[in-house]
């Protein structure tokens, strides 16, 4: 089983840093903007804003008086069917304006200043190749006009529609087309262009349901005075189907890391003392065990952060940075070492054995290979769980941190949830995120324990659940100590309690028709 998924499951840490376009915005994201002009269309409450190098126009659902040059912080409240924002009232100046809590700014158009813009309805000098399907994204709609960011790969300079001079090579261009130029297009679930009729203007019934931010496939039908275009909607179901395929592949075989690690700890002395065991197998097996943190080390926040970084969840995110960052290494990454271990075990298992002793050794290696593959399947499922979802304001990161305690391997499963879509109860609540962390563990002699910590509005609430009554009583005796530790750390403790019985939740890897993952898990 080869597992080489280029998955980046975590959003950029610079979440609040403005992007050069509006394409990558997520629900709950906060961005800084500048008012360019106020009430540019007074009858529609239209306002022009600038974010970094992107100028865009929004329509307010309520009258609001803003001044040119004024800086604002706005928060994404919706991305579909059209981007919408709320104004975060964070300055005395904005508070004096008495901005209603229900005020929303709906995106009308956007124009990236650093992108080449082509009005395809007014020129036949297009820089895009004919008949070749091109990946694109809808970045603006106004009336009958549709603005597309088209992604191209070329080794030759592109020619601007506004001038005969040759401009620099670009990875994308922005074009504006009129709906009258569209051929009839259908939704594609395979990622390939769907068949289209030759009608120049689609009817209302068969016109594609265009939305801001939508991924599409563009094909130019002709380069006549008024070119024609075919747009195929890239169905999100096709992406979801691919992810579901991975889940179906890994779900039946996934196992928690202690299953492999305790077997490896048991077999390691024999592997090291056996002269017939290849040095590479001995070295990687030793490295996997030696990299495990102890339970005591995880009590320190810096060590816990490092253990999370090396848990395997971020392996694919590290790979592009290896060339640019000489200090970055994957030598201690858990998933990276497991993948190396699988490869060397595969090669050794492929060699025929001549004696019964060698057959026993081969069976041991195959058993380790199977458990290693199962452990990698568990990590991949956690990565899939941690993928950002476009249609929700909730981001979940799910991972497992293995450790060693008293010579045995164990693990704590951690799920971190950030919810940016909570309904604010007052103006001061706008822009506040709700965080929660759920820890699941099974300490020897104490049984299964769950702990959920939620943080909102500078208050932290803590809920324990225990499988055994004696463990519940033990935890209850130390709740006051936990409260004082929160206070010493500058946190405001809220509710802290303990209940008997582990809360049964459905699998986080459930496949459904409409949603990939069960957010209640």
Euclidean distance between CA atoms 28 and 78, whole angstroms: 8
3-state helix, strand, coil in the chain (%, to 5): 30, 30, 45
CA atoms within 13 A on the CB side of 67: 6
CB 29 within 8 A of CB 12: no
**CA nearest neighbour of 177 among 135, 227, 224:** 227
Q: Is residue 305 part of a domain?
A: yes
Residues 124 and 99 in one domain: no
Q: Which pLDDT value is given to residue 37?
A: 62
Q: How many CB atoms lie within 10 A of CB 171?
A: 9
Euclidean distance between CA atoms 429 and 422, whole angstroms: 9
Residue 458 is encoded by which pair of tokens?
């500078």
Euclidean distance between CA atoms 484 and 419, whole angstroms: 27
Question: Structural domain of residue 124, as residue ranges?
Answer: 117-234
CB 233 within 8 A of CB 187: yes
Q: Is residue 386 part of a domain?
A: no
Euclidean distance between CA atoms 293 and 102, whole angstroms: 49
Residues 322 and 268 in one domain: yes
Q: Which residues of the chain have pLDDT under 70?
A: 1-23, 37-44, 53, 109-133, 152-172, 184-209, 221-226, 234-239, 242, 352-357, 390-391, 421-431, 503-521
Cα 258–Cα 263–Cα 267 angle in degrees, nearest 5: 145
Residues 192 and 294 in one domain: no
Residues 326 and 374 in one domain: yes
CB 44 within 8 A of CB 58: no
Q: Is residue 399 part of a domain?
A: no
Residues 138 and 201 in one domain: yes
Residues 277 and 293 in one domain: yes
CB 124 within 8 A of CB 224: yes
CB 34 within 8 A of CB 70: yes
CB 460 within 8 A of CB 493: yes
Q: Which pLDDT value is given to residue 356?
A: 62
Give the contacts of 149 (CB within 8 A, at least 6 positions apart): 21, 23, 112, 115, 136, 137, 139, 172, 173, 174
Instruction: For 27-61, give the secondary structure using H, E and C.
Output: CCCEEEEEEEEEEEEHHHCEEEEEECCEEEEEEEC
CATH number at residue 447: 3.30.750.140
Residues 474 and 490 in one domain: yes
Give the contacts of 135 (CB within 8 A, at least 6 positions apart): 150, 151, 215, 217, 218, 234
Euclidean distance between CA atoms 493 and 482, whole angstroms: 9
CB 83 within 8 A of CB 22: yes
Q: Which pLDDT value is given to residue 503?
A: 63
**CA nearest neighbour of 407 among 269, 238, 502:** 269
Q: Is residue 458 part of a domain?
A: yes
Q: Which pLDDT value is given to residue 519?
A: 37
Residue 364 is encoded by which pair of tokens?
């041991």
Handedness of CA 164, 172, 23, 122 (dihedral sign): positive
**CA nearest neighbour of 85 among 42, 43, 33, 125:** 33
Euclidean distance between CA atoms 62 and 99, whole angstroms: 9
Euclidean distance between CA atoms 156 and 224, whole angstroms: 23
Q: Is residue 394 part of a domain?
A: no
Crossing angle between the packed helical segments 279-290 and 257-273, to the nearest 10 degrees: 130
CB 379 within 8 A of CB 269: no
Cα 487–Cα 493–Cα 496 angle in degrees, nearest 5: 125
Q: Which pLDDT value is given to residue 433?
A: 82
CB 439 within 8 A of CB 400: no
What is the chain's Cα-based Rg?
28
Alpha helices of 133-256 — where are they, by DSSP H?
236-250
Name residue 394's beta-bridge partners.
419
CB 289 within 8 A of CB 283: no
CB 208 within 8 A of CB 253: no
Residues 65 and 121 in one domain: no
The verdict on whether omega for the bond into residue 502 sits within 30 degrees of 0, i.e. cis, is no
Residues 50 and 87 in one domain: yes
Q: Is residue 18 part of a domain?
A: no
Q: Is residue 348 part of a domain?
A: yes
pTM recorded for the entire structure:
0.55
Q: Which pLDDT value is given to residue 152?
A: 62
**CA nearest neighbour of 219 among 102, 129, 324:** 129
Residues 261 and 358 in one domain: yes
Number of domains in the chain: 4
193-237: per-residue pLDDT in tens? Answer: 343 333 333 344 445 567 777 778 887 765 555 677 888 776 666
**What Å distances lie between residue 138 and 76, 107, 111, 379, CA to CA?**
18, 12, 12, 34
Q: Which pLDDT value is given to residue 358?
A: 74
Residues 435 and 485 in one domain: yes
Residue 441 is encoded by which pair of tokens?
């563990």
Sheet holding 172-178, edge to edge: 117-119, 172-178, 145-151, 134-142, 215-220, 229-234, 187-188
324-342: per-residue pLDDT in tens? Answer: 777 888 889 999 999 999 9
Residues 101 and 124 in one domain: no
Q: Is residue 496 part of a domain?
A: yes
């Amino acid at each position: 089983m080869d597992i080489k998924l280029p998955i980046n499951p975590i959003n950029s840490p610079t979440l609040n840093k403005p992007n050069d376009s509006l394409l990558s915005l997520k629900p709950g994201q906060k961005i800084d903007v500048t008012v360019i002009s106020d009430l540019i269309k007074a009858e529609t409450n239209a306002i022009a804003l600038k974010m970094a190098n992107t100028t865009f126009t929004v329509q307010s659902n309520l009258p609001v008086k803003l001044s040119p040059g004024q800086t604002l912080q706005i928060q994404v409240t919706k991305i579909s069917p059209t981007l919408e924002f709320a104004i975060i009232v964070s300055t005395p100046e904005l508070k004096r304006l008495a901005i209603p809590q229900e005020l929303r700014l709906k995106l009308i158009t956007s124009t990236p200043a650093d992108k080449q813009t082509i009005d395809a309805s007014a020129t036949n000098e297009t820089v895009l190749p004919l008949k070749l399907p091109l990946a694109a994204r809808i970045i603006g709609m106004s009336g009958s006009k549709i603005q597309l960011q088209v992604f191209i790969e070329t080794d030759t300079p592109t020619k601007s529609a506004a001038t005969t001079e040759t401009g620099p090579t670009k990875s994308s261009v922005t074009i504006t087309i009129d709906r009258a130029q569209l051929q009839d297009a259908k939704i594609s679930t395979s990622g390939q262009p769907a068949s289209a009729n030759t009608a120049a203007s689609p009817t209302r019934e068969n016109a594609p349901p265009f939305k801001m931010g939508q991924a599409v496939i563009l094909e130019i039908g002709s380069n006549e005075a008024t070119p024609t275009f075919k747009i195929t909607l890239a169905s999100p179901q096709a992406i979801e189907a691919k992810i579901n395929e991975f889940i179906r592949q890994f779900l039946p075989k996934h196992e928690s890391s202690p299953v492999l690690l305790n077997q490896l700890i048991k077999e390691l002395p024999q592997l090291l003392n056996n002269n017939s065991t290849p040095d590479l197998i001995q070295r990687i097996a030793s490295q996997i065990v030696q990299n495990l943190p102890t339970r005591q080390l995880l009590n320190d926040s810096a060590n816990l952060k490092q253990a999370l970084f090396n848990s395997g969840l971020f392996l694919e995110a590290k790979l592009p940075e290896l060339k640019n960052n000489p200090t970055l290494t994957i030598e201690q990454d858990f998933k990276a070492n497991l993948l190396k271990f699988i490869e060397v075990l595969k090669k050794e298992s492929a060699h025929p054995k001549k004696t019964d002793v060698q057959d026993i050794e081969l069976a041991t290696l195959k058993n380790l290979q199977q458990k290693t593959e199962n452990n990698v399947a568990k990590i991949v499922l956690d990565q899939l769980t941690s993928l950002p979802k476009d249609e929700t304001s909730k981001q979940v990161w799910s991972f497992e941190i293995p450790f060693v305690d008293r010579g045995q391997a164990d693990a704590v499963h951690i799920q971190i949830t950030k919810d940016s879509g909570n309904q604010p109860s007052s103006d001061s609540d706008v822009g506040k995120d709700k965080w929660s962390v759920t820890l699941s563990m099974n300490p020897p002699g104490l049984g299964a324990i769950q702990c959920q910590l939620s943080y909102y509005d500078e208050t932290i609430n803590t809920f324990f659940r225990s499988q055994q009554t004696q463990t519940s009583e033990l935890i209850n005796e130390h709740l006051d100590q936990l409260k004082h530790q929160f206070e010493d750390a500058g946190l405001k403790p809220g509710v802290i309690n303990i209940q008997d019985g582990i809360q049964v939740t459905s699998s986080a890897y459930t496949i459904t028709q409409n949603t990939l993952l069960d957010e209640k898990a």
